[in-house]
Amino acid sequence: MVIKEAVSISADVKPRPVVYIISDSIGETAELVVRAAASQFNGGNVEIRRVPYVNDTSEIPEIVEEASHFNSLIAYTLVLPILRETIAAEAKKHGVITVDIMGPTLDALTQLEGRQPKLEPGLVRKIDQEYFRKVEAIEFAVKYDDGKDPRGITRADLVIIGVSRTSKTPLCMYLAHKSIKVANVPLVPEVAPPEEIFSLPHHKVIGLTISPSQLNEIRQERLKSLGLTSHADYASMERILKELDYAKKVMEKAGCPIIDVTNKAVEETASRVMEIYYKGERLGR
């Protein structure tokens, strides 16, 4: 029996027309189209039989031959021309009605785009999966921002460490849009860093540093935006040097790569981070 799945639109037990849905993926698209069309006939009193993952011409004759024994039609979403041609030929031989849902749209878009399609089954689902991975990574970056929850360190693809105002959060969000789950941990002399960062593979922890003078400027601007005096200890050169020295020692202990973000755009830093991360993943470090 070739049918992988059968779904009834109506509970009516009388003999009904049968719509065979043949797809090189799971057949969701064709089923939605058939259901939408059937709704114009009060549900159409039709039975839907889905035949997913058809990727070989040798599978088609048996399916069409079976369909010929019913009052049926075949709706199909197949990207490979050879599969569409085989169905058309077999259906003509057996007198079965067919509806090519994908083919005409592919042909029209080929004319519009002026180039050939990839002809790779299941790309919509791959795109959807990529989208959801990106959303998950963004949610992860928000949840584990600024060391809010140390559990994020062991769950992250990457951990960014550095003193305040080294663009850790913007960097994490940028990387999240690349579907990388990133947590960040601020380094403060008065607070011991989470021990977890010292047990991670070196390429999964990235330290950020910056020139003292630029950090001083950034912090002074931050204080002004908050309506505070620029002479606060947070922006003093003495405090900045102390923090940077402390952060350097933590990074050296972690054995992680260190990136100087002085005068660098987030995109530039992210490019370097991804280079380090993916190289480490390839080498299995």
Arithmetic mean of pLDDT over the chain: 88
- Identify the CATH assignment for 5-121 out of 2.40.50, 3.40.50, 2.60.40, 1.20.272: 3.40.50
Taking a C-beta distance cutoff of 8 angstroms, is the pair 146, 169 a contact? yes
Q: Which CATH class is domain 129-283?
A: alpha beta
Percentage of residues in the chain having pLDDT higher than 70 = 89
**Domain boundaries of the chain, sorted by first residue:** 5-121, 129-283
Binding residues: 162-169
pLDDT tens digits, residue range 31-90?
889 988 988 886 667 889 999 989 899 999 999 999 999 999 999 989 888 999 999 999
d(CA 280, CA 283): 5
Read out DSSP for 176-235? HTTT--EEEEE-BTTBPPPGGGGTS-GGGEEEEE--HHHHHHHHHHHHHHTT--TTSGGG
Q: From the CB of residue 269, how many other CB atoms can be counted at a distance below 10 Å?
A: 22
Report pLDDT for 43.
60
Mean pLDDT of 172-186: 95
pLDDT category of residue 282 using cuts at 50, 70 and 90: confident
Residue 218 CB burial class (10 angstroms; 0-12, 13-18, ≥19): middle
Return the percentage of the chain with pLDDT > 90, whole number. Answer: 61
**Alpha carbon 163 to its chain's center:** 30
pLDDT at 16: 81
pLDDT for 8: 46
- Give the Cα separation of 33 and 53 in Å (integer): 18
Dihedral in degrees, nearest 10, Cα atoms 192, 197, 203, 209: -20
Q: What is the pLDDT of residue 196?
A: 94
pLDDT band at 107 (very low <50, low <70, confident <90, very high): confident
On the question of pLDDT at 203 being above 50, the answer is: yes
Q: Given this model, what pLDDT does residue 1 score?
A: 44
- DSSP letter for 145, please: G
β-sheet bridge partners, residue 208: 162, 259
Highest-confidence range of 5-14, 224-233, 275-284, by mean pLDDT? 275-284
Q: What integer pLDDT is reported at residue 229 of this predicted model? A: 73
Most confident region among 102-106, 125-129, 146-150, 170-174 by mean pLDDT: 170-174
Tens of pLDDT, residues 118-160: 777 666 666 567 778 888 999 999 999 998 888 899 999 999 9
Binding-site sequence positions for ADP? 162-169
pLDDT at 230: 66
Are both 5-121 and 129-283 of the same fold? Answer: yes
pLDDT at 4 over 50: no
